[in-house]
Amino acid sequence: MQPQTKQQIRFVSKCLLLLLAVLIVAGVTYEQIGERLDRKRFPQVGRSVDIGGRSLNIYCSGEGGPVVILDTGGSAPGYENLLFQRKVAEFTRACWFDRAGLGWSDPSPVEQTSAAIAEDLHALLHAAREVPPFVLVGASFSGFNARVFAGKYPSEVAGVVLVDSAHEDQYRYEPPVTLAPFNRLPKQIRNLLCAGVPLAARVGLVRFLLQRSGPRRDAPAGFTADQAATLHGLELQTKSFVAAAVCNFEGKVSTQMRAAGNMGDCPLIVLTAGQPFRTGEPEADRELVAFHEMWVHQFQAQLARLSTRGQQVIVENSGHAIDAEAVLKAIHEVVTQIRDKQ
């Protein structure tokens, strides 16, 4: 290779490295500015409670016990329960909260498995001086969180309502059409991408992608346009995406659910969707209907058997997003059972 060619290669390499450095600095700056703007755009609803070097957001109102604790499905912020919590607070004290990294809560230095979430919630409720025992309400993914909390702190749980809760065995049978595109990738690729999320977040790449193609879903019924915009904005925060990135999720869930065990004679209502998800494609819908039969009669039925006082209620006209009135009725029934026993 000619000396001149070598010099050209070195020059181009230096230019590329310089360009990369500029892009990284620009990305980090973009992310930092974005985080500051997020804090200004979304005035806090709730209050920050220190749990040891970081804070979590919680909002409570209402009087009487037991206190009902509302968790959210997926990586939704607690603000999603803004209006629903008010209905529960009409007959007992009720709280919604933001898990670490969601809404107005600080991120956590540890991966957000259900065990970590349960420990955070326990610390939060005690620091906020909310009086146990509690009624835990877990929807979809957060059903895992409720079960782990009940397993770790059984004396502080008076009752549980599971709202079409996820089950640790569902991932072995779930039709691919129900999975998000990321979850359809091979496990090794998913874990590699998952491990790279924190770095991508620091250099602004996650924010850049979320702002252009982030998820948008319908807000709960009754939300104003401003409330819906706040909910959507909170969901698109970089820290929320990072909090949701749990590598080898299925394996960790399985281990933690086995450790959680059953709930003894704790009042438990398992609300189950009566309607399967449908795509409109005949072949895919046949798979979905078959899976739904397993969902209703195997997975959800198993959850109801976690307590000797467990009962399964199939909400016939609801899909995975269970009708709010059915959830409210179940919470009221569990609260009444607990009060009658006192």
What does the alpha-carbon distance between residue 246 and residue 320 come to, in Å, rounded to a whole number? 22
**23 lies in some domain:** no
Q: Which of 255, 262, 237, 320 is nearest to 113 (CA)?
A: 255
pLDDT tens-digit readout, 2-11: 565 666 566 6
Compare 36 and 326 and report the one with higher pLDDT.
326
Residue 112 lies in a domain: yes
Round to whole Å and give the CA distance between 284 and 111: 34
Q: The domain that contains 53 carries what CATH number? A: 3.40.50.1820
Q: Is 86 strand, coil or helix? A: helix
- Residue 291 inside a domain? The answer is yes
Instruction: Report whether pLDDT(103) > 90.
Output: yes
Evaluate the omega torsion of the peptide bond into residue 109 and state whether it is cis, within 30 degrees of 0: no
Answer yes or no: is 12 within a domain: no
Say which residue the tokens 């949701």 belong to.
244
pLDDT in tens, 176-186: 776 665 566 66
By three-state DSSP, how is residue 137 classified? strand
Query: What average pLDDT is seen over the chain?
Result: 86
87 closest CA partner among 259, 341, 314, 335: 335
Please give the biggest Cα pair distance in the chain: 91
What is the pLDDT averaged over residues 260-270? 96
- What pTM was computed for the model? 0.86
Cα–Cα nearest to 163, from 3, 336, 317, 315: 315
Domain that holds residue 252: 47-341
Q: Are 241 and 201 in contact (CB under 8 A)?
A: yes
Is 125 a member of any domain?
yes
Burial class (CB in 10 A: 0-12, 13-18, 19+), 39: exposed
What is the Cα–Cα distance from 238 to 130, expressed in whole angstroms? 30
Residue of 72, 108, 74, 97 whose CA lies nearest to 249:
74
Whether 3 maps to a domain, the answer reads: no
Total domains in the fold of the chain:
1
Alpha-carbon torsion (299, 302, 304, 306), positive or negative: negative
Q: Is residue 4 part of a domain?
A: no
Whether 6 is covered by a domain: the verdict is: no
The amino acid present at 41, given as its one-letter code, is R
| Contact (CB, 8 A) for 333 and 340 | no
Tell me the pLDDT tens digit for each residue of 109-167.
Answer: 988 899 999 999 999 999 999 999 999 999 999 999 999 999 999 999 999 999 999 99
Q: How far is CA 62 from CA 67, 90, 130, 316, in A?
A: 9, 6, 12, 31
pLDDT single digits (tens) 52-102: 999 999 999 999 999 999 999 988 999 999 999 999 999 999 999 999 999
- Alpha-carbon dihedral sign for residues 221, 223, 229, 234: negative
